A and B are shown apart, each in its own frame.
Chain A
Amino acid sequence: MPLKWLLHWQPNAGASVNSQILTEVSQCADSMNGVKEGRWKSTLTFYRPVIRVQDQALTSELPRDFLGLSMHDQPNKYYFIIRAQRLVLEADLSIQSIMEKLQSYKTRVALNFEGIQYRLGDFQLRVGKVAPINSESLRGIVLEVEYLPISSLEKGRQIMAEFLEIWQEAVSKRSLPGHFMHMETNFADYGLSDHYSSQHTAVQYAIVMAQLIASAQLRS
């Protein structure tokens, strides 16, 4: 599948993310002659263990960052990520039903990543806001950049970097209080190869989520 980079909006020190920034970023895509191709949505869920009797030893063993992800471009799949253990799993949607029946983990919070998709030549761009489900409260902004002709992470690196340079320059002209950031990921740590897959995307979402949480904690 095509190579994809996931970026997140990093506000400047003292600044926060807001819907005006989202509007400006979308206008950036418009100004680059991006063709609107419709809406997209992915949902990230934070799980927490259900402990029926207080057990400190058990609580300390269990993961604090157990995430589930449903993706807009994989409607029949579900993904689990435990970043601390460099673990990513791809499953059928029915895995959610299994987890509900096990009753060992429950949803702590779920966030939607959603917005509009643009086509710019061989690139697909998805600008998205991050908000809790059933809430309009904006917690972040993300950008998916997909280069359609190439699936190799290494082979696509240079062209992705060149595209992002153009994109970042366009965004910087709007003098917004922040910038988009791309986190370099060692996919091999997760047992993933150079050939891009949805599991790579799941890992990127987990890493971006960690960044959004860290930024929010710093600002508060």
Chain B
Amino acid sequence: MHLGLRRLGSTPLTLKSFLTYGIFLQHVEALEILLQGLCGVQRERLRTHELCLKSAPNLGAVASEVRLLCDLEQTEPTWTVRHVGGAMRGAGAEQISVLVRTMVESKVSKNVLRLFYALGYKLDHELLRVGFAFHFQRGAQITVTVSSVNKMLKLHSTDEAVPVTPGIQLVEVTAPASPENYTEVVAAVSSFCEYLAPLLHLSKPGISTRVVPTAAAATASLMLDGGGTTL
């Protein structure tokens, strides 16, 4: 499981947790049924254009990277700037089964791409994420997103995007936290992710993973059950 810390301005730090291993497309429907049962809320559609910008050579004390996210599901597309920091290191980081990174986000008006180009940033790559999300309370305010990652064949052409890894989708789990309740939120998110174990293999980035052997059986079971059981 990959966890990251995200600071949203004056709001609490946010833990960002996502799986380093994807889920096969044929198991996504089963995952959705499982999540529906676990969360007890309706899913929301997700369609986000993500632009990764990097600083021009020699600009900045260090080379830097920033992500611009455009939510295409809204009537009027809305923009967010996201900065993801380096991973937490040291003896403490080695001992936990998660990777911790800081993340800061800001909602911005639509001129943001022009602004960063003017400030000397260049487009490194862009992606289109398509899928769904669940937002619910379970020991912490948790968000689970399941999405395909797609690349654009032409610059900014979100209508012409193809999957980067056909047949595989990315699952991400996020929750806000503060320095005071960090451990409780970690426990809540970890505990929740254990329910996903039949379908997903959880591992720390850098450690090779494999298809979880129970995925096919778990999928079959969930599809037969129809997803009517709340866990």
Measuring CB to CB, which residues of chain A are less than 8 angstroms from any residue of chain B?
49-53, 55, 58, 61-63, 66, 80, 82, 85, 87-95, 97-98, 101-105, 191, 199
Contact = CB atoms under 8 A, between A and B. Distances in A.
Contacts, number: 102
7 contacts: A58-B56, A61-B120, A89-B111, A94-B9, A95-B106, A102-B64, A103-B64
Given A52-B60, A94-B9, A105 B106 contact: no
B57 to A, nearest CB: 8
A197 to B, nearest CB: 10
Interface string B143-175: 000000000000000000000000000000000
Contacts of B71: none
Given A87-B115, A98-B104, A103 B61 contact: yes
Counting chain B CB atoms within 10 Å of each CB, the highest count among A49, A63, A87, A91 belongs to A91
B111 A87 contact: yes
A85 B118 contact: yes
Contacts of A63: 118-119
A91 B106 contact: yes
Contacts of A88: 111
A53 B107 CA distance: 32
A95 B58 contact: no
Given A51-B59, A104-B55, A191-B111, A97 B9 contact: yes
A62 B120 contact: yes
Interface residues of B, number: 30
A91 B56 contact: no
B81 A98 contact: yes
A98 B66 contact: yes
Interface in B1-18: 7-10
A69 B106 CA distance: 16
Given A62-B119, A89-B108, A102-B64, 13 more contacts: A50-B60, A50-B61, A58-B58, A58-B120, A85-B114, A89-B112, A91-B106, A94-B7, A94-B8, A101-B64, A103-B64, A104-B60, A104-B120
Contacts of B224: none
A92 B59 CA distance: 24
A82 B9 contact: no
Contacts of B85: 101
Contacts of A55: 57-58
